[in-house]
Amino acid sequence: MRPAVGAPVRRCTACDSWEYGGAPGCPRCAALVDDIVEEAWREFLAGEFGTPAHEDERIIAEMVAQEPDRYDWRVVDAALDRLTCDDCGSRLGRGPVGCAPCDLAHGFRYAAIETDRPGVPPGNEHAIRVNVSVVRRPYGISAPELLGRRMFLPFLLAGALPTTRQAQRMAALAKRGATERDLAALMDAASGETGADGHGSR
């Protein structure tokens, strides 16, 4: 289950990061990130189609992929995961940069609907969407950018949105070679949440 707005950020039990933030390297965090889109897909299917047969599910996925602007981004991402790229054989939109059908599908996914949850700063859902997308398709992303994206994700899911200045500062530090540990200490200090679930205790 995706964290609710205001939920405490928790350490992953399988890696050194906050939950979700260890993806794509930590299998547990990667599965949590995948479940953000899978959960929405299950709800979408149940609400619109009940329990479709496997073959019907693929047809529904094709329909969604053709009109991404009509669906929530998580539903679109889950739909693309159910389609296979004819050129590279990956899940559509997740193949290497330079695979034309994947690049195209990856671009179109950004046409999907992003709805901010109540009580979050405007743009929070967009930031989640971008970071989830980068973490799930990290090809062509520099190591410092990936580090920043994945480290912000747990906080975005809890409803926070870093200011442009904070985001730029973190990006600059990551580019200069700051490690996950350095950045984690900074984010602990910035978030002011040092009590929850061992968060800030390192």
Instruction: List residues binding Zn ion (CB under 5 A).
Output: 12, 14-15, 22, 26, 28-29, 85, 87-88, 95, 99, 102
Query: In angstroms, what is the minimal distance from the CB of 105 to Zn ion?
Result: 8
Task: Say which residue the tokens 């496997």 belong to.
Answer: 54
Nearer to Zn ion, 72 or 77 (CB): 77
Query: In angstroms, what is the minimal distance from the CB of 119 to Zn ion?
Result: 26
Query: In angstroms, what is the minimal distance from the CB of 20 to Zn ion?
Result: 8
CA distance 127 to 96: 22
Q: Are 116 and 122 in contact (CB under 8 A)?
A: yes
CA distance 163 to 136: 24
Query: In angstroms, what is the minimal distance from the CB of 126 to Zn ion?
Result: 24
Nearer to Zn ion, 102 or 158 (CB): 102
Nearer to Zn ion, 129 or 150 (CB): 150
Nearer to Zn ion, 21 or 44 (CB): 21
CA distance 131 to 129: 6
Q: Are 76 and 109 in contact (CB under 8 A)?
A: yes
What is the DSSP secondary structure assignment for residue 29, as one 8-state letter? H
